[in-house]
Amino acid sequence: MNTKLPTVLEPIHSRAAISGHPLHPMMIHFPVAALIGLVGADAAYVWGGDPFWARAGLWLAGVGALGGWAASLAGLVDLLTVARIRRLITAWGHAIMAVMMLSMATLNWRMRLGDDPGQYVMPWGLGMTLLTAFFISIAAYLGGRLVYENAVGVSTD
């Protein structure tokens, strides 16, 4: 029988917060959903050739890139101003993956801007979309570790 009590972590509070609620985790949902939805929009465009999907992909890429950069500012505030977060290797890995993902997403969106958003979907757009989704999965995993293993932005009361 295991009689060891669970360890309660001392929470790491966010500086970029409203009434104690961290902004970064609140802001990432729409950009992540848009960039994951871009996988489906690109696949639908490649499969069916309907220009609707290319236009939808343009908007999804823009919402994902711009919204992601906005969310990253809140995360950057915490990374640079909270010493306990700054000391976590996981936090730096999360930040590096996020910058790589957002750079790829921004390039993908920028490439689609113009008269024919479907012009670059194959092969470059789809490739960047899939690579962005891969980087999202790594950044999300590391972000989850920050929350569940280090109690970043979590109340343990």
pLDDT recorded at residue 113: 94
How many beta carbons lie within 10 A of that of residue 153, not counting itself? Answer: 24
Cα–Cα distance, 134 to 130 (Å, whole number) = 6
Quick: pLDDT tens for 73-121. 999 999 999 999 999 999 999 999 999 999 999 999 999 998 899 999 9
Query: For residue 20, what pLDDT band results from cuts at 50, 70 and 90?
Result: confident
pLDDT recorded at residue 155: 76
- The first and second tokens of residue 20, run together, are 């104690």
